[in-house]
Amino acid sequence: MGDEAVETDVQGQPSWELSGASDGFERLWTPHRMVYLQGEDKPADDQAGLQCPFCRAPTKDDVTGLVVARGETAFVVMNLYPYNTGHVMVCPYRHVSLYPDLTAEETAEIADLTKTAMRVLAAVSGCQGFNVGMNQGAVAGAGIAAHLHQHIVPRWGGDANFLPVIGRTKALSELLADTRARLSEAWPSPS
């Protein structure tokens, strides 16, 4: 190691020696989140097209695109980086960034798909509540600001603790593909 400074813990042990050592903390490693944190798969610009994940998802088959349901002007898709198991988004097919830019038909269908998603999520997962919302613009927290999307996050009593806040980690109980399959199977047929 030469003369380089070595980071140590409070007992003076090199930090690299702590790997696997019992220190009273449980660790949940989520290396799959690193691609999100590093911005992988984010569009290079705000243009419509296959670089936008919300333009790209409906061009794939439902399983590959994680699409739960399709409407005439909007669709429901699993969040690839979910806050909770069952986290879906309702997106217009059209590449628009702000809610006032939606047509009356898009607005109505997004509302209907949101209500249906909430009913299906409650029936399939037994969730006790929801967070529903849109972050419009990067300054408001939109990870992909150029293509409007409404989040529907199912919630259960006690589902949040300090793990997400301090550890920036979320434990998810089911794989995305399995959740998508259960939601899609429970989705009502179009009338």
User: Exposed (0-12), middle (13-18) or buried (19+): which is 85, by Cβ within 10 Å?
Assistant: buried
Give ∠ CA 133-50-136 in degrees, rounded to 5. 20
Provide the β-strand partners of residue 75.
70, 91
CA within 13 Å, CB half, 126? 2
Is residue 88 classed as helix, strand or coil in its secondary structure? strand
Query: Does 149 participate in catalysis according to the annotation?
Result: yes
Angle between helices 104-125 and 176-186 (to 10 degrees): 110
Of 87, 147, 149, 151, catalytic: 149
At position 106, the amino acid (one-letter code) is: E
Catalytic residues: 149
